[in-house]
Structures are given as C-alpha cells and as structure tokens.
Amino acid sequence: MKSCLFALLSGSLLLAGGLPQKQLRGTYVEARTADVFVGPCFANSEVENSGNLAVMGWKISEGSWDGVKLDGLGVVGVVKASATLGDVHHTAYPVKSVLIVDEKASPEQRLALASFAKRMSKDLLSDVVTIMYRPISLTVENENVHTAKATLRAGDLAAIQTRAMKATDHVCSHEDVWYQPLTEVQHAMPAFAMDHHFKGKELGTTWSSPNKSSAFVANWQLSE
C-alpha cells in the first residue's frame, strides 16, 4: 500500500514539474523611426540613416511568470540602437534601453514584468539604463489586431497610436513588410503610426516620429 502511494505521489510530482512555469497571452504594439511596411525605393533611403529608435509595449491579458500572476498589467521597452533595427546587413548592437513598468504592479509583479520584457525582446532590453514606473494602458480596437488600431500610453513618457494602412500611405506602389516585429508574436499586422514619441531623457535623446508606416499591432502567447 505504501509503495502504491509513493508511486502515485512521485508521478504527481513529475507531472507538476513538467508544467509550464511561464504561460501567458496578450497584445503588443511597437513603433520605430523607420517604416516597416514599405517598398525598396524608400527603405533603402532610410537604412543606416534612421530606424535605430523604438517603443515596444506588451499587455498581459492573462497568465503567470514564474508563478506570479500578471493579468491586466503592462510593460514598455524604449530602445536606442547603434544602427537600423532589423537590418540584416548590420548589427544594431550595442543597444541601450529604458524599461517602463506598470505602476499598479506589486513589487513581486514588477520584478516579473521586467523579467518577462527582457525575455520577449530578443536581447534588446539586456542593457537597461533605468527602470521607471508609470500608469500603462494598451488598447486594441475590438481586441482584434486585424484592425491595426491600437493606443499605447506609458504615463507622460511614451506613446503610440496606430491605424490601418490606406492606399494613400503607399509611396513605392509595391509595399510589403520590410522588417519583422522586434518581439515574438503569433500574428502581427503592420500599421500606420499617427503618434510615436518618447519624452524621457535617460537615453540621451527624445523623439517624435508620427505619420509613418512604422508600427506593428500583434497578439502573442508564451508557454515554457
């Protein structure tokens, strides 16, 4: 009898040990200082000259990171790279960044959000010069990324507002996705950034880069 109980307990522990400790889903928006949905005629004029600055924002719809619940919270990464982000011919590193964490989060959640953002950002947030805490909101119209309409606010520091592409946004007449999203996503829609700015001074620069085909709106899931 004791042997059976021990076997059942051991099996349960093994199963529990195999369960994902990081299982989340949510929405995402980013914008850069170079167009991401563009034709080669325009992209070639921007590469190496712009596109080294970006704002990235995640909202967790539901899920946990290392056992910490993060439902409804957000985190924003602001990036200053050494070259055009996504350029396959030149490295963008070294990269400096600022992390903006949802001020509603508890101390434990703040640590989890920072760890999550660093994991999702493909090393773009590996050299964080400072972490700040602000109210963060990220809304996607009708919770449908296909609309490409999203609004991100990180207090008074950073913002993105997007809409769907229009025919009048096309410059080369044969535009396509030139760069991929800066984070892991399941589905992304290129979008037109009506607003994209960062007002903090921690990166040695501020910017406002509106009215560009420079954004993505996406959803994502992570399980590991």
**Do 70 and 113 meet the contact criterion of CB atoms below 8 Å apart?**
yes
> Which residues, listed in sequence order, are joined to residue 23 by a DSSP beta bridge?
64, 223
Phi, psi of 129 (to 5 degrees): -80, -25
Q: Do the domain assignments include residue 2? A: no
Q: Do the domain assignments include residue 124? A: yes
Q: Do the domain assignments include residue 10? A: no
Write down the pLDDT at residue 175. 76
Write down the pLDDT at residue 177. 82
Query: Under DSSP, is residue 136 helix (H, G, I), strand (E, B) or coil?
Result: strand
What domain count does the chain have? Answer: 1
Phi, psi of 144 (to 5 degrees): -125, 110
Q: Do the domain assignments include residue 48? A: yes
Q: Do the domain assignments include residue 71? A: yes
Alpha-carbon distance of 152 to 30, in angstroms, equals: 9
Greater model confidence, 12 or 143: 143
Alpha-carbon distance of 121 to 126, in angstroms, equals: 9
Radius of gyration of the chain (CA): 20
pLDDT digits (tens, 9 = 90+) for 156-205: 999 999 999 988 777 666 677 888 999 999 999 999 999 999 999 999 99
> Which residues, listed in sequence order, are joined to residue 100 by a DSSP beta bridge?
76, 132
- Name the nearest CA neighbour of 163 among 127, 114, 214, 209: 214
Q: Do the domain assignments include residue 72? A: yes
Is 14's pLDDT higher than 80?
no
Q: Which domain holds residue 139?
A: 22-223
**Do 194 and 162 meet the contact criterion of CB atoms below 8 Å apart?**
yes
| Model confidence band, residue 142 (pLDDT cutoffs 50, 70, 90) | very high
Greater model confidence, 30 or 50: 30
Mean pLDDT in residue range 40-68: 81
Alpha-carbon distance of 42 to 196, in angstroms, equals: 20
**Do 116 and 136 meet the contact criterion of CB atoms below 8 Å apart?**
no
pLDDT digits (tens, 9 = 90+) for 55-75: 999 999 999 999 999 999 999
Q: Do the domain assignments include residue 102? A: yes
| Model confidence band, residue 6 (pLDDT cutoffs 50, 70, 90) | very low
Write down the pLDDT at residue 8. 42
Q: Do the domain assignments include residue 74? A: yes
